[in-house]
Structure 1
Amino acid sequence: MGMLFGMPNIVICDEHDENILLEKVFDYIDTYKLELTDTTANTYHKLVITTPRRNFTLMCVPTLFHVASGEREFIMESYGKIRFNTIKEYNMERQIYVSTVPHRSSTMSILRSYSVPDVYGVSMFHGHVLSPFHRSNRIYYRYTISEVSEDSWLVTFKPRSNNTQLISGFALVEHATGRITYTRFKGEYDMLRFDIVTNFDRPVNDPLALMPKECVINTTFKFLGNVMCSTLTNVYGCQHTLPDSIKSSANMRELNAVRPIPLDSTDICIYDRFFSNRIKTDTIAVEEPEKKKNNIGKIAWNLLEDNMLSSIRAENENGYFRISPLINPQYISYSNSRGLAYKLAAGAEYKFNEKRKLRFNARVGYNFKIEQFYFHNNLHFDFNPKRNGWLEIEVSNGNRIANSSVLDVLNEQHRDTIDFSSLELHYFNDNRYQISCNIAATDQFELMPALVYHHRSAVNKAGMVATGQPTVYDGFAPSLTLKYQPSISWPMFSVNYERCLSGVLASNMEYERWEIDASLRRRYSSLKRFNARVGGGFYTNQSTTYFVDFINFHEDYLPGGWDDDWTGECQLLNSQWYNASKYYFRTNISYDSPLLIMTRLPLAGRIIEAERLYFSYVQLEKTRPYFELGYGFTTRFISLGFFASFLNDQFQKFGTKFTFELFRKW
């Protein structure tokens, strides 16, 4: 606010002038046809971290293990390039990187998402924090507009309710164009209190007009008695361009030659303490190779940090590699029907060129309710992005599946002698292999042929042998999926046909299955979302034993978080019903909003980030219509849902579901 002192004749404008100026701000991008696509600029970043209060729990926070002990002040500087696909999609390449953090480890990487505020967009930062400078968010803010000069107006804004998705602050706006030249705002989101100052003082005709000239992010992080403060200074559009041969250099002389702003006394003191008077040497080796020590404790802590508490990641312009930490609460989930589950994830991508890239994703986990280990591996090759052309190989062990036909046969052959339902003879473990290819024949029509192979083995093999039944069922099934979407605003319609061929590759099953599905995902203003899915499926050609296993209606024992699978599924439906009916018809609807019911309450609004309403309907063979109603919300700590199920109009049961969200975005 200091820059506003000394400005004479500040005049509060009337409501008419206020509306005119706000409309100019809202229409600024459209009026001047501004966009930030396929743009590259030189960029400088300086991060200073201080830890006035800390304890051992700080090492459990992602990327903060190395600042949880030792020095209390750290500095990191980098210089390189930033490449924009859009203002929210960009990649940063560090060509020079100097750090006083041990091992030059990345620290507070969450701040990257705050580095380029999209002040004119619906959300400031990658789907969160509603911008007061977007028309659809005007209902959530109160504005006061004052004239500070003939060319500049001061717009002060504050939220109408105390919510973590809203901010308060001010902006200097150019009266003639509606261009924001300077803004400062404060807020709190995902455990971070932030105070961000951004300078946009660039001409309208500048190719980098939407990119900040300078952005300073001050944050305070408090967690279990720890207090950590940080200041991240970002300078964009720097003059000096480094050759591409320089990558992740630690050369201080090179950094001194291109640094756009000088170091202050605090920065120099941090360097002096860390480098022990070596700051004036030509090259700074950020960390000298340590002499080998027989220090088991230190080695153990390094292994703990590198593999247990932090993600393993590496990336460059051609691809990336990442593995989730082995110990992380956010991978724990629970629901009444599926029980407790824990999972890990890994992924890698390599880009051959702009049209071809190879991607690998793996998900492994354990479900404690049925005491089973799960995995799902996916190798995906994009060969024609213009036509959504890809080739994919999937290997997974699926979910434990029931074969009702086996139980019927056993009950018929051994009537009134054995209670087979208690022996779990109809349960099988499913190993699944699939090769699929997708191509868009037109802009509206896609087809996806696939080859699917199932190897199902009985859970109770001894019991099956004792009753004279096979312990293994194999199935080879060609499949074809047709997709049709008239336009982007229409639902996606799909039809899937799968036929299992007996006698091919040891297949001892035969069936035909059809599924029809329509799904719609619609985004509205202010981060509101509407999801709807309607579909059905049925089996034909029931000449041999088969497993009821639909692709669009099945149990998932390793669910993800709020944005993964909390829509499009029934949360309380008994798992046996997924494999007991020869047909199904289902409808799932959900509605998301960052400000719906609870978020309007003062205390709840500070921590609730989004809310969701659910409705599900299922019609199965030999049962009455099944309904579910639900309400859920996500916070910085957990996502929590409450559900009630009904058969017709009769209440059945009440259940909950939760997943940990703490530090999920970190």
Structure 2
Amino acid sequence: MRYFLNILLAIVLTMTGCTRAHAADRKYALQIMKRVFGYAASVDTVGLKAQESYAYLKYDIRTNKRNCLLLAIPTMYAIANTGVREHVGETYDRVVMKRPGDMRLTQMLERNTIPYGMRTMPTVLKYLTPLIYEELLIDGRIISPFHPCNRRFYRYKVSHFMRGAVIVSFRPRLKNTKLVRGWARIEESTGRILETSFDGEYDMVRFHVTMTTGDEGVKTLMPAQCNLNIRFLFLGNDITAEYTTVYDLPKKLPDSVQIVNRRDTALLNLVRPIPANSHEQYLYSRYYAARDARQADTASQRNKTRLWTKLLWKNVGRRLVMRTRRKFGTHEQGNFRISPVLNPLSFSYSARRGLTYKFDIRGSYFFNERQALQLRFKTGYSFKQKQIYFDFPFTFYINQRRNAYIRTEWSSGRHIYNSELMDAIRLERKDSIDWSRLNLTNFSVHSFKAVAHYDPSSHWGLELGIVSHKRTAVDDNSFNLLGRKDSYNSVAPIAELTYRPMGYNGPILTIDYERGIRKFMGSDTDYERVEMDGQYKHHLSALSYLQLRAGTGFYTHKGFGSYFLDYSNFRESNIPGGWNDDWACTFELLNSQWYNASKYYVRANAAYETPLLLLSWLPIAGRLIERERIYINALSVKRLNPYIEYGYGFSTRAFSLGWFVAQRNWRFDGIGVRMNMELFRHW
């Protein structure tokens, strides 16, 4: 009996010792992680001035497998349309850091072996500047394991490494594309990250990042050297690449040296901190030899058919599948961007509009830090509605610091439905007419708007201008049959007062006033309208936010010829954007006729977004869910009191999808789906 009691006592003492040891280890691990989470706040950044340094990048891209689908992927056109399977390149950049996490790179020197001098997969360059202490690790995409707000997403394990340093291993609590796993070597006394390595997968790219941080001050918050290995797999295509970046390099080129040719090999040899190895030298030599051989050929010796084929692929083919971006001007102060003609991002689908095709052109020119010109031409076509839309705003910034600008906007294609005109005609004509055969309610709207805006402070804004609408009957034959005109014009002075209680980063409250004056500049409509609107996007943490909107509008006067009800803040979006453009705080299932059916409206919209909500917890497929949203939209208008929409949506690397259910006067009113392509949006 005594023997068994001794054994039991030994077991109890051992378990007690293990429990105490485990508790001590846990307490030690918590202390280490507390130091890691608090290190960034301990670094003095008060009064930090912009710091200038230089950075060097070299890369090696290998095409292991490819097929014709690679041609359709943005920025992959160059390596898809060549017989060479491996390309190398290097760049030398000027870096200006205004504050931790804000690094502006200006390319000074560059050379590579990619055809046409094009860039390939520029999106992966974001992985070379990880912001380890920020809430979002890489370009607002990946949730950092080293920020205190993100502790709920990760599990940590602390191990002794050597005197004065420990190893912290981290892994996600849930497998998801927004999370990473890896380790970090930590300075034990301060919690400073000396070195870290992590793996993940995002936007069709599997990546492995290894980085070391700077030695002192603010530099300890930023990478000193970063190595990146990526693998891109897509429907039989297999691309791998290696990138190495060295930061905080001293200035090696004297001011007397003028860079005339950005591809000057001699200058690159002077600034390169990492010598080119024999394999890289071989690839450069092969590229230059092939280029010199092509230039040595005379025009008569070239195969004209082959030449035209190459020109077609280079100048036409890539424009169909790739964004066109160009800079112009002496100091590249101007730029423009044209969306690809044929690309998955050009299409979206909703139950009400059907399949929609979109095309977008943007351009800007900066005269100086305050003055600039900006323009945009956005067009779309709805295959179900058989309608073409376009919107063309043009803005001249007089003083960007005060948000002072003059803007003109021309838009067309939007349809407005109104029954008041038909009712007025029926009262005038007492004869018997088969009204069902006539289309007297559908009008196409052409609009022009010119405004001047100025913000006297960050809290207030004032806008004055004029707006003109020309509403033309879609079926002019019906109006000609009745002897009535088929178009109606309105011209109205407008004013908008904006109030931002918390400045530019808080809620926005606006009051809009519009007064249509009959016989003013050809106007045949007399009306007065007031609208009030409030919007607020409250950022929570780790890509989570709550977006709110509420507003009302009403007509205070409707005079002669005022048949149309047309609001500024309550109207249908005819050219739908992607997930980040207009999915939140809009009515997805509301019939377009209700936007113009009441002398008043009251609306309220709310959307909550987070990266890990419902579907993210599903096995296998859940790891691909990037973001999820819950929607609630409510509306009150005449004969529709209330109208409510409930929705749920999610976004993946390939597409966004949302389901919506509607209630009309507390009764079920339908269900619908909206889908938008997201594939290669960041490429």
TM-score, scaled relative to structure 1: 0.93
Cα shift at 1:286:
11
Equivalent residue for 1:52, pick from 54, 64, 73 = 64
Could you tell me which residue of structure 1 aligns to residue 119 of structure 2?
106
Amino acid at match of 2:442: Y
Is 1:165 aligned to residue 178 of structure 2?
yes
Query: In 2, Cα distance between the equivalents of 1:120 and 1:465?
Result: 70
Equivalent residue for 1:573, pick from 570, 590, 593 = 590
Query: In 1, Cα distance between the equivalents of 2:85 and 2:628?
Result: 39
2:210 partner SS: strand
Higher-Rg structure is 2
Cα shift at 1:79:
1.1
Cα shift at 1:444:
1.8
Cα shift at 1:64:
0.6
Could you tell me which residue of structure 2 aligns to residue 539 of structure 1?
555
Amino acid at match of 2:309: G
CA deviation vs aligned residue, 1:97-134 (integer Å, no higher than 9, x gap): 11111110111111122221111111112221100000
Which structure would you say has the larger RCO, counting Cα contacts within 8 Å and 6 or more residues apart? 1
Moved more, 228-237 or 488-497: 488-497
Cα shift at 1:261:
0.6
Alignment of 1:406-425 (within 5 A): 406-414=421-429, 417-420=432-435, 423-425=438-440
Query: In 2, Cα distance between the equivalents of 1:657 and 1:248?
Result: 49
State whether residues 54 and 93 of structure 2, in contact with CA within 8 Å, keep that contact through their aligned partners in structure 1: yes
Cα shift at 1:427:
1.7
Query: In 2, Cα distance between the equivalents of 1:452 and 1:532?
Result: 28
Alignment of 1:307-386 (within 5 A): 307-315=319-327, 318-386=333-401
Query: In 2, Cα distance between the equivalents of 1:653 and 1:234?
Result: 54
Cα shift at 1:317:
5.2
Query: In 2, Cα distance between the equivalents of 1:168 and 1:464?
Result: 68
Query: In 2, Cα distance between the equivalents of 1:162 and 1:418?
Result: 67
Is 1:659 aligned to residue 676 of structure 2?
yes
* Residues 550 and 285 of structure 1: CA distance in aligned 2, closer, same or farther (over 3 Å): farther
Amino acid at match of 2:397: D
Alignment of 1:623-662 (within 5 A): 623-662=640-679
State whether residues 169 and 185 of structure 1, in contact with CA within 8 Å, keep that contact through their aligned partners in structure 2: yes
State whether residues 100 and 286 of structure 1, in contact with CA within 8 Å, keep that contact through their aligned partners in structure 2: no
Query: In 1, Cα distance between the equivalents of 2:296 and 2:94?
Result: 27
CA deviation vs aligned residue, 1:519-541 (integer Å, no higher than 9, x gap): 11100011101001011101122
Equivalent residue for 2:538, pick from 503, 516, 522 = 522
Q: How many residues align?
A: 649
Query: In 1, Cα distance between the equivalents of 2:27 and 2:492?
Result: 68
Equivalent residue for 1:454, pick from 451, 457, 469 = 469
Query: In 2, Cα distance between the equivalents of 1:579 and 1:248?
Result: 59
1:254 partner SS: helix
Query: In 2, Cα distance between the equivalents of 1:543 and 1:71?
Result: 72
Amino acid at match of 1:178: G
Could you tell me which residue of structure 1 aligns to residue 190 of structure 2?
177
Equivalent residue for 2:577, pick from 560, 574, 598 = 560
Equivalent residue for 2:318, pick from 306, 328, 347 = 306
Moved more, 11-20 or 183-192: 11-20
Query: In 1, Cα distance between the equivalents of 2:512 and 2:294?
Result: 57
Could you tell me which residue of structure 2 aligns to residue 429 of structure 1?
444
Is 1:587 aligned to residue 597 of structure 2?
no
Cα shift at 1:262:
1.4
Is 1:438 aligned to residue 453 of structure 2?
yes
Is 1:141 aligned to residue 158 of structure 2?
no
Query: In 2, Cα distance between the equivalents of 1:326 and 1:38?
Result: 41
Query: In 2, Cα distance between the equivalents of 1:515 and 1:562?
Result: 27
Is 1:121 aligned to residue 134 of structure 2?
yes
Could you tell me which residue of structure 2 aligns to residue 8 of structure 1?
none
Is 1:212 aligned to residue 223 of structure 2?
yes
Cα shift at 1:419:
4.9
Is 1:498 aligned to residue 508 of structure 2?
no
Could you tell me which residue of structure 2 aligns to residue 66 of structure 1?
78
1:535 partner SS: strand
CA deviation vs aligned residue, 1:119-177 (integer Å, no higher than 9, x gap): 11111122211000001100110001122123222111000010010000011112222
Percent identity (aligned): 36
CA deviation vs aligned residue, 1:260-288 (integer Å, no higher than 9, x gap): 1112233223223322399xxxxx99988
State whether residues 41 and 81 of structure 1, in contact with CA within 8 Å, keep that contact through their aligned partners in structure 2: yes
2:40 partner SS: helix
Structure with the higher fraction of residues in helix conformation: 2
Moved more, 36-45 or 191-200: 36-45
TM-score, scaled relative to structure 2: 0.90
List structure 1 segments (4+ residues) > 6 angstroms apart after TM superposition: 284-290
Equivalent residue for 1:618, pick from 598, 614, 635 = 635
In structure 2, list runs of 5 or more residues that go unmatched. 1-21
Amino acid at match of 1:586: R
* Residues 400 and 38 of structure 1: CA distance in aligned 2, closer, same or farther (over 3 Å): farther
Amino acid at match of 1:201: G
* Residues 248 and 290 of structure 1: CA distance in aligned 2, closer, same or farther (over 3 Å): farther
* Residues 660 and 289 of structure 1: CA distance in aligned 2, closer, same or farther (over 3 Å): farther
Equivalent residue for 2:41, pick from 30, 40, 52 = 30
2:582 partner SS: coil
Could you tell me which residue of structure 1 aligns to residue 267 of structure 2?
254
State whether residues 349 and 360 of structure 1, in contact with CA within 8 Å, keep that contact through their aligned partners in structure 2: yes
Equivalent residue for 2:281, pick from 261, 268, 290 = 268
Could you tell me which residue of structure 1 aligns to residue 9 of structure 2?
none
1:624 partner SS: strand
Query: In 1, Cα distance between the equivalents of 2:101 and 2:506?
Result: 25
Query: In 2, Cα distance between the equivalents of 1:119 and 1:373?
Result: 46
Could you tell me which residue of structure 1 aligns to residue 304 of structure 2?
294
CA deviation vs aligned residue, 1:288-346 (integer Å, no higher than 9, x gap): 89956522322222233332111111236524221111111112111112222111111
